[in-house]
Amino acid sequence: MKTVSACVGIVAISLLLNLPAFAKKDKGQAYQIQPTITAEQAKAAVTSALPQLSLGKPFTKQGKRGDIKLEIPLMWEGKVVGRMRLNPLTGVVLVKGQKLEVQKLSVAPEQATAAIQKIMPNLQVGSAWLGKQGEWKVPLLYQGAVITEISVHGQNGSILPDWKAAKDVSLFGR
């Protein structure tokens, strides 16, 4: 009888010790809201907004290692809806996620704006995927590579502002 209760006690303790491991996997994320519009409708919303996209004022910011980052905000109806990153040495647009460690800026803001304005007519809209809060993420492609993404509201199909990019514009875009 003692061995049965000892085994039950050991199993109970091991279960209790393993419970926090299960809780960590969830990371406290709530369930997302199911979108009512389809991925095709989100893609169509971005496609129709594409001709109305404009460029904001280019700005630079400094990374953690002292590297310079050159960015240009994408504007739609007066809101920042995305950003494009450029190589600070050459002014060439960077693929989303591409990291450079450049310590100096060799491109004038006017050159950066001119380079992006040249590629704007050649932007294409890619396939949408579902974001963490139930919004659609629709990529903009240049020469087949994702250079930025635009968020579309999953319920009403409106273009959403990019709050992180807008914050960077307010902090660094003087």
How many separate domains does the chain show? 1
Q: Is residue 14 part of a domain?
A: no
pLDDT at 18 over 60: no
Average pLDDT of the chain is: 85
pTM for this prediction: 0.77
pLDDT at 2: 58
Q: Is residue 153 part of a domain?
A: yes
Q: Is residue 140 part of a domain?
A: yes
Q: Is residue 15 part of a domain?
A: no
Q: Is residue 27 part of a domain?
A: no
Span 1-14, average pLDDT: 54
Q: Is residue 13 part of a domain?
A: no
Structural domain range at position 54: 39-172
Q: Map the chain to HEC letters.
A: CHHHHHHHHHHHHHHHHHHHHHHHHHCCCCCCCCCCCCHHHHHHHHHHHHHHCEECCCEEEECCCCCEEEEEEEEECCEEEEEEEECCCCCCECCCCCCCCCCCCCCCHHHHHHHHHHHHHHCEECCCEECCCCCEEEEEEECCEEEEEEEECCCCCCECCCHHHHHHHHHHCC
